[in-house]
Amino acid sequence: MRNLFLSALLAAILPIPASAESLLCENGLAEVTAPSAALARETCAMTDDSLARFEACKLGTWEFVRIDVIDQLEKGCVGLYHCGEHRIELLSPAGLDRAKDDLRTFRNVPSDRLFSSVLHHELAHALYETRPCPYENCLATSEYFAYSQQIAALDPRDRATITARMDFSKPAQRDSINAMILFMAPDAFIATVWVHFTQRPEPCQYWRGILDGRILFDRFHP
């Protein structure tokens, strides 16, 4: 009985299984906990790729984050950035395989490549988090930055599968990039973001404008 109580208590206070492997990444910007040492190493290598992408556009970097790679996350969720805690929870490639039906826009991207793209999305949130927001929150702007980064970082074959149904024939509606559409129709939000982003002439400059706070999609709600 006591053992049962003890294990229930441990399960409640320990969010990660005891067999998880932790690794401090060589870039000094992340510590990864994953179900296997190999996946922890791969995840660290992926943070290097994200760092290189941000540096290529002179976007700066995120503050140190903890990345927990786990086999299960709440339904419909593949990655979570806990703002203020510098912590990312990420569904493992095995977990992504099981969650295929919930992936909507990204369902045709193979799990290993999807895993690194979701990590890049969450690191983009971590980077945006270091910048000031003039409103109560900057949800729409933060998701614009994260999704445009994620889709730009995809393998071109994967990007082609998700952009095939997007309408690039007319200017994207900037007004549709808001928190309401994000929650009510996330796929429509993602499509509008990507079409809008591809219609900007200078991608790196646009991302810098977002990080500088000059470009905002959120507005003041009295």
The amino acid occupying position 72 is Q
| Three-state secondary structure readout of the chain | CHHHHHHHHHHHHCCCCCCCEEEECCCCCEEEEECCHHHHHHHHHHHHHHHHHHHHCCCCCCCCEEEEEECCCCCCCCEEEECCCCEEEEECHHHHHHCHHHCHHHCCCCHHHHHHHHHHHHHHHHHHCCCCCCCCCCHHHHHHHHHHHHHHHCCHHHHHHHHCCCCCCCCCCHHHCCHHHHHHCHHHHHHHHHHHHHCCCCHHHHHHHHHHCCCCCCCCCC
Nearer to Zn ion, 29 or 126 (CB): 126
**Residue number, 20 or 99, with CB nearest to Zn ion:** 99
Does residue 97 contact residue 111 with C-beta atoms inside 8 Å? yes
Residue (33 or 117) nearer to Zn ion, CB: 117
Q: Residues in contact with Zn ion, total (CB under 5 A)?
A: 1
Closest residue to bound Zn ion by CB: 146
Smallest distance from Zn ion to CB 156, Å: 22
Instruction: Give me the amino acid identity at 217.
Output: F
**Rounded least distance, CB 12 to Zn ion, Å:** 28
| 34 sits near Zn ion (criterion: CB under 5 A) | no
Minimum Å gap between C-beta 169 and Zn ion is: 27
Residue 20 or 126 having the CB closest to Zn ion: 126
Nearer to Zn ion, 109 or 146 (CB): 146
Distance CA 207, CA 213 (A): 10
| Shortest separation between residue 184's beta carbon and Zn ion, angstroms | 16
Question: Smallest distance from the beta carbon of 70 to Zn ion, in angstroms?
Answer: 17
Report the residue number, 20 or 54, with the smaller CB distance to Zn ion: 54
Q: Which is nearer to Zn ion, 189 or 206 (CB)?
A: 189
| CB 153, min distance to Zn ion, A | 14
Report the side by side order of strands in the sheet with 30-34.
21-24, 30-34, 65-70, 87-91, 79-82
The least distance separating Zn ion from the CB of residue 122, rounded to whole angstroms, comes to 7
- Tell me which residues in 129-158 interact with Zn ion (CB under 5 A): 146
Binding residues for Zn ion, per CB under 5 A? 146
